[in-house]
Amino acid sequence: MVLMLKLVLYLVSGIAGILLLAFLFTQWQSRQIAARYPNAGTLTDVGGFRLNSVHVPRPENADLPALLFIHGASGNLRDPMAAFGKPLAGRAEMLFVDRPGHGYSERGDDATLTPDGQADAIARLLDARGLGKVIVIGHSFGGATTAAFALRHPERVLGLVFLSPATHPWPGGVDWYYDLANTPYLGRLFCNTIALPAGLSRVASGRRNGFPSQPRAIRLSRKCRHTHGPEARQFSAANARDVANLLTYVRRTQPRYREIIAPTVIISGDSDEIVYEELHSLGLNRDIRGSELVWVRGLGHKPDYVATDLAVAAIEKVAGMTRDLRKLADDVERRIAAR
């Protein structure tokens, strides 16, 4: 009995020691990440809390309407900025936003736990930043927020571009660590100890899932790693609650997608290992009347990086320009096959 008690004490002490080391590592690494990626945006009050965003003013010779970019889960505004900042420079007014609780944005109240509350906060940000009607570009989880924006603020939407969106119910729920991080008390302990080391260990596999058919696309992988450097730090209670609540939200909201009437393009591929493209992208194309689905063979979860030219053409098309997206998609497929 005494021996058993000693073993239990040793085990508890060992676990406590590991958690302490993980906590210290998390605090140190968080400071390192914050120093490496200082805030490039501006914090704006949107009604009791602040959203962070980077605003690119309308250039003199702009040929596109204002563009609003909404990033996915575990991400931040650096992601779409790296993909679209240079290709669209000089062509449009642009707003890149950290969703509530991500990047340098504050979380706000419980309304921002779901895409509709996030869409409302972003609409208030547009008001504060002086933007009117916009084309909205949403990636992954940002696709759900983009659809919510179109439903709740249709008068502000000129067009929609969905990139590998997460918008529809799917089987199996979410990974265990999202549920764990979303658990009261225990989730806080997890987020302040194990989450960041675990998140760092998953960054490489996340890049592979984003580029499944392009193992030699080293430059793209490095670019993605640079913009997602802070994402392990973003594996927080806010991000976990977003993802954990998404399934219930899309089950409730998906039937309303038929109300969306804005010009819409959806870009997706058959090699997405992050979301079920056959449920989300095909479902969105079915639900939004008149939408165009551009299907790219070999494309993973990151069309914004792998098929930036196609995504830009999709923006141009919903803005009213004539673009053959199928032909551009064929070009992307040939590039992927060559790699």
Higher pLDDT, 142 or 190: 142
* Distances, alpha carbon 144 to alpha carbons 22, 220, 250, in Å: 33, 25, 8
pLDDT for 191: 76
Q: Which two structure tokens, joined as six digits, stand for 232?
A: 């392990």
- The rounded mean pLDDT for the chain is 87
Beta carbons within 8 Å of 38's beta carbon, 6+ residues apart = none
pLDDT over threshold 90, residue 204? no
- Mean pLDDT is lowest, of 70-74, 257-261, 309-313, for 70-74
Per-residue model confidence (pLDDT) at position 10: 75
What digits encode the pLDDT tens for the residues 30-58? Answer: 677 667 778 989 999 999 999 999 999 99
Hey, where are the domains in the chain? 42-103+111-338
Reply yes or no on whether the pLDDT at 213 is more than 60: no
Residue 211 has pLDDT above 60, yes or no: no
Whether residue 290 has pLDDT greater than 70: yes
Provide φ and ψ at 271, rounded to 5°.
-125, 30
Residue 205 has what pLDDT?
Answer: 55
Q: What percent of the chain has pLDDT over 70?
A: 86
3-state secondary structure of 75: coil
CA–CA dist 299, 296 (Å, integer): 6
Neighbour-count burial of 73, counting CB atoms closer than 10 A to its CB (0-12 exposed, 13-18 middle, 19+ buried): buried
Q: State the pTM of this model.
A: 0.87
| Band of pLDDT at residue 179, cut at 50, 70 and 90 | confident
CA distance 57 to 255: 36
CATH of domain 42-103+111-338: 3.40.50.1820
Q: Which of 71-85, 110-124, 179-193, 298-312 has the lowest mean pLDDT?
A: 179-193
